[in-house]
Amino acid sequence: MEDYLKGLNKEQYNAVVNTDGPVMVIAGAGSGKTRVLTFRVAHLLQKGIDPFNILALTFTNKAAREMKERVIKLIGDGEARNVWMGTFHSVFAKILRFEGQHLGYPSNFTIYDSDDTKKLIKNIITDMKLDPKTYAPNFVRARISMAKSHLIGPEEYANNTEITEADKSGAKPLIKDIYKTYNLRLKRSDAMDFDDLLFNTYILFRDFAEVLYKYQQKFKYIMVDEYQDTNHAQYLIVKKLAANTENICVVGDDAQSIYAFRGANIQNILNFRKDYPDYKLFKLEQNYRSTKVIVEAANKIIGFNKDQIKKTVWTENDEGNKIGLIRATSDNEEGKLVADAIFTAKMTEQRHNSDFAILYRTNAQSRAMEEALRKINIPYRIYGGQSFYSRKEIKDLLAYFRLVINHNDEDALQRAINTPARGIGKTTMERLIVVADENNVSLWEVVNAPGKYGTQLNSGTATKLANFATMIKSFAVEMKKKEAYEVAQLIANTTGLVRMYREEDTPEGLSRVENIEELLNGVKEFSERGAEANEGDLEFQGTLAEFMQDVALLTDADQDDDDNDKVSLMTIHAAKGLEFPYVFIVGLEENLFPSIQSISTRAELEEERRLFYVALTRAETKATLSFAESRYRWGQFTITEPSRFLDEVDEALLETPLRSGFKQQTERIRTENTIPKTPEPSRRNLKPIDNSQVQDKAFTGDDTGALAPGMDVEHIKFGRGKVISVEGNGPNQKATVHFNSVGTKSLLLRFAKLKIV
């Protein structure tokens, strides 16, 4: 046995060394899935397999990078860097840059992100004079995206009566036309959306046998991570690629499937047995990550789901801490209690900030957490949310980059042409768009040569257009001669974008200028990295075009930070695949988690439950659940109810009972084997309550040094209560107080302003 394989358990070992033929690995949470994948790659290389023959597909760039780093650690640099490891989207984008001409795409095609996509769909809806309320852009986009990920093109869509009937009964019969126009417009812009990267790769392999053959020869060993999250398109592409050698290894966990909402299909796991009847199955069931308490609680929760593949996750780890429970009166208080708990654990357990993660269902929940952490000076880092790349000023500058790289990129052109203002307004643009449509050419064609298409323009406008076109073309020339950073800086300055924001002379304007500078620094770093990497990776030049390819598929979670000792804040989706000693799962309230839009069908509810399972199994040492009894949502104060998921946590594993104090829980009727009733958003939850009571600004705490058990105290939010105990001293002094209103709470006296009554 090779040395490096010694640390593996039997199942892991088998999953690693069975390199030939189809293999499926069902890997429970924390069972060493990534380990198996990395060792498998290392093992292949060790056996002398050419790294260029190995393909490893992941869902996030982060997972890909991590895998690469770990392989390099195992067997050293050099060979490892030539393995194709990346997300489905990035790998297929790379293939399409090489092969896109078969489908009529240039290699410099633009990738539209969801913002660009949405905008384009919105434009089309307006152009078609449809009511944007009926045809809500987000809805239409979701519909088109769903179609594309099932490999249903515009024609198939229009010819599929089941689909069109559904659209008709939804009073949206024209989605098929929007879809058709949308695809034409994308094509005319030499652009692909995220789904096209998969769709077109599939078409490429389906229609061009020689291309398929080439990649089948290339990728002799294929590995797919998070197989439970693949959609139909991904499934078929992988199947085609693997058809020759059948050296395919998929790793997944049905209990962690949380992307059905975007077309992921758990059936792909089941299909695997049919597609490769002689496949080998390995089950990784031993959890190395979490304590017994966490594993047991998680097992019980997932047990409430009907649809699942039987498996038993177990662990030899210690029993561990019970699961914490935080009950807060408001979202802000929830933030404070969580921040306090982190502070306390840091002090008592000597932990780093980076040992903590706060996980939530929606990005909007981060704010209360941020504020609370900031108040007590705990550094944190937010993953996801409003991405750096979706800020206005960044989009503005990127639009120029895109336009310079691909003149036909219509979205980029529309954004750039009058930002900053160049006197090319709405009227002119509308006229140009009509001409472009009539002649079926890209918008750039018309802007660049309006005379050619007989566009009616006054001479002033014509000059402005000509100047703009000349400028863009001059950038394109520069781009060929200079490296990325120089061109980027030239563009930022010559276009007047930086000047525009600077002249706003407002704090926002200034921060926009700073963001632009940050982006330029990013470009600089990128091209320097390009120069360094040149000898190792011949394909990498560090050009602006390459930078843009990177950016299009990048998410915020992929960015690195210099200072890494920070508390992590992210959605549960973003946390998949990660682990932390201490995990706080916040906002466990009905209509938030599970989400109000996911409780009408069993399938949706079960996905929410898997999400909860994923969240809980991120924890190594201790998990803490929290919920608030009220929360601001959509700027509205709402009373909330604890999540049904809290009831599914084994009471015996909780630090404090769920139902304590005076609060009487309304009995919720839930039978495990009936389909949940139609959602009845309880009035109670949505009723705005009078929020006008002004808080007593003068409320200041008494000196709490004299605080002792038995004393009556008053709290600014909780009102009257009785002190049960006081522990700790100095800044960490805590008191347990029983309040009439909210039951027993533990408060850090430094923050809780208590008045002795």
Partner DNA sequence: TCCGATCTATTTTTT
Partner DNA sequence: ATAGATCGGA
Q: Which residues bind DNA (CB under 7 A)?
A: 59-61, 87-90, 113-114, 119, 126, 132-133, 136, 138, 194-195, 258-259, 261-262, 361-364, 384, 392, 418, 421-428, 461, 553, 555, 557, 570-571, 573-574, 595-598, 632-635
Both structure tokens of 662: 């005076």
Amino acid at 275: D
Any idea which residue has 């809780």 for tokens?
752
Question: Does the annotation mark 87 as catalytic?
Answer: no
Cβ atoms 357, 658 nearer than 8 A: no
Shortest distance, position 498 Cβ to DNA, whole Å: 17
Sign of the CA dihedral with 275 first, then 277, 278, and 282 last: positive
Determine which one of 11, 12, 33, 590 is catalytic.
33
Q: Give the residue with the Cβ less far from DNA, 61 or 247.
A: 61
The answer to whether residue 414 is catalytic is no
Nearest residue (CB) to DNA, 16 versus 233 = 233
Euclidean distance between the first and the last CA atom of the chain, given in angstroms as a whole number: 73
Helix axes 484-494, 392-405, angle to 10 degrees: 120
The answer to whether residue 94 is catalytic is no
Q: Which two tokens stand for residue 182?
A: 């949308």
Of the pair 586, 749, the CB lying nearest DNA is at 586
Pairwise CA distance, residues 345 & 213, whole Å: 57
Per-position DSSP letters for 545-586, written without gaps between them: HHHHHHHHT--GGG---S----EEEEEHHHHTT--EEEEEE-
Report in angstroms how near the CB of residue 676 gets to DNA at its nearest: 15
Helix extents (H) in 189-304: 194-207, 209-218, 232-242, 267-275, 292-302
Catalytic residue among 618, 622, 631, 734: 618
**If 0-12 CB within 10 Å is exposed, 13-18 middle and 19+ buried, where does residue 623 land?**
buried
> Looking at 99, 190, 195, 225, which residue is catalytic?
225
- Minimum distance of DNA from residue 287's CB (angstroms): 24
C-alpha separations of 273 from 224, 267, 280, 602 in Å: 15, 10, 9, 25
Least Cβ distance, residue 50 to DNA (angstroms) = 26
User: Of 11 and 334, which CB lies nearer to DNA in the complex structure?
Assistant: 334
Q: Per-residue DSSP letters for 107-163?
A: TTPEEE-HHHHHHHHHHHHHHTT--TTTT-HHHHHHHHHHHHHTT--HHHHHH-HHH
Report the nearest approach of DNA to the CB of residue 283 (Å).
27
Give whichever of 231 and 317 is closer to DNA, judged by the CB atom: 231
CB nearer to DNA: pick between 328 and 575: 575
Examine the residue annotation and report whether 226 is marked as an active-site residue of this protein.
yes
38 near 67, Cβ under 8 Å?
Answer: yes
Spot the catalytic one: 19, 34, 164, 555.
Answer: 34
Please name the amino acid found at residue 541.
Q
DSSP class of residue 701?
P
Q: Which is nearer to DNA, 126 or 682 (CB)?
A: 126
Q: How far is the CB of 701 from DNA (least distance, A)?
A: 26
Cβ atoms of 547 and 526 closer than 8 Å: yes
Q: Which is nearer to DNA, 258 or 545 (CB)?
A: 258
- Catalytic residues, by residue number, are 33-34, 225-226, 256, 618
